[in-house]
Amino acid sequence: MVAPGGGGGGGGGGPARWPSEEELDIVRKKVVEISGRDEREVRVAACPYRICPLGAHIDHQGGIVTAMTINYGVLLGFVPSNDSEVLLRSGQFEGVIRFRVDDLQKPIDNPENINWESYARGAVYALQNNGYDLRKGIIGYISGVKGLDSSGLSSSAAAGIAYLLSLENVNDLVVSSVDNIQLDKSIENKYLGLENGILDPSAILLSRYGYLTFMDCKTASPSYVYFSELSKSQQPQGHLPFKILLAFSGLQHNLPKKRGYNTRVFECKEAARALLQASGCEEASNILRNVDSAVYEAQKCVLEENLSRRAEHYFSEMKRVAKVTLVMLPRNGRDAWARGNLQELGQLISASGRSSILNYECGSKEMIQLYEILLKAPGVLGARFSGAGFRGCCLAIVESDRAEEAAAYVADEYEKAQPELVFRIPADRRVLVCEPGDSARVILPDDRLHS
């Protein structure tokens, strides 16, 4: 059986299956090679990558964000070790990881020391520091999709969650998705020193196929809207009229090593502090969600230019996601999705992308070029950066029957603009046509994934 929310679905035009039986077999056989155990003992943590159509860069400010997963992700095959040892190999990185779950894990003090081992140790750190009893380790093999790591799809969060789920599984720990969101946040914030919010783990752990997940990052409460549920002509279950394009820039780096992200978070907090102080609410924590929109309108003149831009991005992005008291929009991201209005949803996504460039001031020359190429592609309804916007890829919502045409157009045009960067990207990974996915789960040896 598959945990609720899991399973890619069947054929006949429905969602693309992830992971496929072939992908599972590869991972299981690798675990058998490493552990010497029977293949029927191997369990697999399947953790999909995520996209954020609307709500970018506001999760760390307690904003409301939207997310869905895609049919690509991280697979961690594992068996319980006979003691507390952790032994891991990777499909992307060299070397072998060995440590014990009863070793005391200490936070990393230098971002330059972060590597693929850090996420496994970080998972142990998070569980240890939240009172969970770890006695057994794992023997495992972890594999992402070649070319998709460090691409703004939250591959690091997917890896961290895979380690959490596997350690919880072998230690018979019952941990809710909501608690695992906070555990992954502990990996990223406390162990790695990255000032991010709960968007990434929320998307990976809570998404459902065909639904857009709305996560209130202040209250940590999710809600779901099925595509076109308010329309009189609802789409058949498993048949969505759009696909997702991921176009890769060729720029890659590890987010914790890039100071730009943490700087933006600091500036948002400074903007919140100034606005709260100006309105006499100094006791509130310095996040923009604690600033009433009317207060922002009345007091935004006190902000320095860069802080003003960060605040403008936050409040305009909140309007794109849902109704707020600043301007009661007759249409917003939730409504457009629920009514099945892809044109309107696409316009909101593109506006979000423009605000990321102009107000949040993220995105290199190359990323902006790629974003603009996507906007001109046939069948593309809307586009924006994926992830923090400093590297990786751009995403687009595209009409299903024009997805391949759009992908070819984007690949050709970006190669003309950036031939040297395109050369770094595997030919079959320059532009991917994806479908929405499901939530992270552990696939047990006797599970039939696509029953």
What is the pLDDT at residue 147?
Answer: 66
Lowest mean pLDDT among 197-201, 257-261, 362-366: 257-261
What confidence score (pLDDT) does residue 429 get? 87
Judge whether residue 146 has pLDDT over 70.
yes
Q: What is the pLDDT of residue 132?
A: 97
Burial class (CB in 10 A: 0-12, 13-18, 19+), 87: middle
pLDDT tens track for 148-195: 766 667 788 999 999 999 999 999 999 999 999 999 999 999 999 887
pLDDT in tens, 337-362: 777 788 888 999 999 999 999 999 98
Quick one: pLDDT band at residue 258, thresholds 50, 70, 90? low
Contact 36, 186 (CB under 8 A): no
User: Is the per-residue pLDDT at 450 higher than 50?
Assistant: no
pLDDT at 302 > cutoff 60: yes
What are the tens digits of pLDDT across the range 412-448? 999 999 999 999 888 888 999 999 999 999 999 887 5
Picking from 40, 47, 121, 133, the residue whose alpha carbon sits closest to that of residue 79 is: 40
Three-state SS sequence of 121-190: HHHHHHHHHCCCCCCCCEEEEEECCCCCCCCCCCHHHHHHHHHHHHHHHHCCCCCCHHHHHHHHHHHHHH
For residue 388, pLDDT beyond 90? no
Residue 267 identity (one-letter amino acid): E
In tens, the pLDDT along 191-219 reads 998 877 788 898 999 998 888 888 888 98
Q: Which of 34-38, 69-73, 101-105, 260-264 has the lowest mean pLDDT?
A: 260-264
* pTM (two decimals): 0.85
11: pLDDT confidence band, cut at 50, 70 and 90? very low
Segment 45-64 shows an average pLDDT of: 92
Q: What pairing do the DSSP bridges indicate for beta strands 138-143 and 85-90?
A: parallel
Pick from 400, 360, 395, 348: nearest CA to 378: 400
Q: Give the model's pLDDT for residue 15.
A: 52
**Is 56 in contact with 215 (CB distance < 8 Å)?**
no
Q: What is the mean pLDDT of residues 239-255?
A: 82
Residue 104 CA to residue 129 CA, distance in Å, equals 10
What's the count of helices (H) and strands (E) in the chain, helices before strands?
13, 12
Report pLDDT for 195: 78
Mean of per-residue pLDDT scores for the chain: 86
Least confident range from 75-79, 219-223, 314-318: namely 219-223
CB-count burial class (<10 Å; 0-12, 13-18, 19+) for 209:
buried
Give the residue numbers marked as catalytic: 200
